[in-house]
Amino acid sequence: MFVSLMLLSMIMIWCKIYQKNGMRGMGAVKFASKSEGKHLDNDNVLKDLHPYPLYFIMHVGPLKTATTTMQCELQHYRKYNLLPSDVDLAETNSCKPPGHSAGNGQIASERIHECFKEWAADVVGMPDCWENEFMPHVEKQKEQNKSIIVSEEILSQINWAIGFNNHQNFVNDLQASLRQQGYQLWIIIGYRYFAEWAHSFYTQAFKFSPDPKLVRDYEHWPDEGGWKVPTFESYANSQLNRNFFTDRVVEFYTLTNVTIKVIDTDQGDIMKQFLCDSLPQSLANSMCELSQSIRSNYHNESPNYLWCDVLAIKAHEKGLIHQTNDKTRRQIIKDMLKYSKESKMSYEANAPKLCPDQSFYDALHNESMEHYYNVFGDEQLENKKIEYEKRLNHAKDSDKFCTVDAEKMLLEKDWINFFKRYS
């Protein structure tokens, strides 16, 4: 009897220590490599083997997989009280005016990313910011029997701060913290054909932006310390961070007790995929009804002025823009766009081009197929190979991955006359 009481006491003490320190669980699985097959099953999901009544759902992007479109749609549902009563949606900066902050009783999805970056591998459990800022909100939603949805594309880039060597411990700590409140972690990740994603990521990286965190100096010329836009070929070969693509994001969040679903933009109707096919079944029935009211009127357009910048820089290098000219580089680019519009000339489409050679396209195709395999395995692999070859050939024929030949453009009468205004 005495021995039994001692064992019971030891078990109770151990449980208290576990709850206090958030001891990391076991059972994490190694992310499947290419030789080990696909990461997801035929339903694009790691099966939810641990169903919980409440879910903490993180839609983590990545960037340029229509995340902003989905965020704007979700915020629209929240604004007009269309969300089911058992769903809480975190605020996002997308579709919000600059300087907007989360309202009372709300959590800001972007702040979650900042907090996650404070996680430390040598400290068991989530950082203080998580426990102090976010868990009280989770407890409040638990009292109202609400699952929580967070949509934030930069959560796909948390692997950059935490590192892949620590990803299992991080996800374990996050899952353990949520489970103390009765929540199950559920991850949603977008997928896009890699070649198209890479080019979209490239144009995003160099677009004008009012966001102060995106330091892109278009006020000064490159020889004055300003930003210089590389060609897409150069960017793809040496600057594009592949850790931000879908397969690496799946790898980072993969754990045996975490459900992961992938939204395939190739399948169309991404919002319906999100509402009807990507959420836990307990939420999908009511959320799917919202698909009847999808607006689909938001378009995050790619910038069309990179060619202007290439041409303006070359004009500056050749001394066609006088140093005493009071207009900044950004203002000159805007003048060029206005001139092109007023002239009703598609200068970019008709301009002489500098294009990658065939070896670049071959390498891009092979890499695209590898990324597809990493996510979906052999499923439709041959069909996708044919489809992606056609799409890449179309991009090649349309000069999508080319840059303008500024040297030749500056020999044209129209542009000689245009740049005289700055001499």
- pLDDT digits over 45-82, tens only? 334 444 558 999 999 999 999 998 899 999 989 889 99
- What's residue 42's pLDDT? 35
Let me know whether 75 and 38 are in one domain.
yes
- What's residue 268's pLDDT? 86
- What's residue 131's pLDDT? 94
Range of the domain at 336: 196-238+301-422
The rounded mean pLDDT for the chain is: 83
- What's residue 8's pLDDT? 45
pLDDT at 352 over 90: yes
Angle at 56 between CA 278 and CA 134, to 5 degrees: 145
Let me know whether 128 and 52 are in one domain.
yes
Let me know whether 253 and 134 are in one domain.
yes
Q: Are strands 54-59 and 403-404 parallel, antiparallel or unpaired?
A: unpaired
pLDDT band at 181 (very low <50, low <70, confident <90, very high): very high
Whether residue 21 is contained in a domain is answered as: no
pLDDT band at 198 (very low <50, low <70, confident <90, very high): very high
pLDDT at 11 over 50: no
- What's residue 151's pLDDT? 94
- pLDDT digits over 72-110, tens only? 999 989 889 999 999 999 988 766 644 444 444 567 888
- What's residue 349's pLDDT? 78
Let me know whether 262 and 225 are in one domain.
no
pLDDT at 25 over 80: no
The CA-atom distances, in angstroms, between 153 and each of 71, 149, 158 are: 9, 13, 10
Find out whether 109 and 95 touch, Cβ atoms under 8 Å.
Answer: no
Let me know whether 150 and 200 are in one domain.
no
pLDDT at 323 over 60: yes
Whether residue 50 is contained in a domain is answered as: yes
Let me know whether 172 and 201 are in one domain.
no
List, in order, residues 6 or more apart from 15 with CB less than 8 Å away: none
pTM to 2 decimal places? 0.84
The mean pLDDT of 185-204, rounded to a whole number, is 96
Domain end among 293, 319, 335: 293
List, in order, residues 6 or more apart from 11 with CB less than 8 Å away: none
Let me know whether 160 and 200 are in one domain.
no
pLDDT at 252 over 80: yes
Let me know whether 227 and 249 are in one domain.
no
What proportion of the chain, given as a percentage, has pLDDT over 70? 80
pLDDT at 292 over 70: yes
- What's residue 49's pLDDT? 42
Residue bearing the bigger pLDDT, 399 or 20: 399
Let me know whether 92 and 219 are in one domain.
no
Residue 40 CB-density burial (10 A; 0-12 exposed, 13-18 middle, 19+ buried): buried
Residue bearing the bigger pLDDT, 146 or 323: 146
3-state secondary structure of 57: strand
- Number of folded domains that form the chain: 2
Q: Which two tokens stand for residue 273?
A: 């995929």
The mean pLDDT of 326-350, rounded to a whole number, is 85
pLDDT band at 298 (very low <50, low <70, confident <90, very high): low
pLDDT at 286 over 70: yes
Let me know whether 36 and 135 are in one domain.
yes
Q: How many CB atoms lie within 10 A of CB 293?
A: 11
Q: Are strands 353-354 and 403-404 parallel, antiparallel or unpaired?
A: antiparallel
Let me know whether 109 and 122 are in one domain.
yes
Q: Which two tokens stand for residue 315?
A: 């004009």
- What's residue 209's pLDDT? 61
- pLDDT digits over 300-320, tens only? 556 678 899 999 999 999 999
pLDDT band at 374 (very low <50, low <70, confident <90, very high): very high
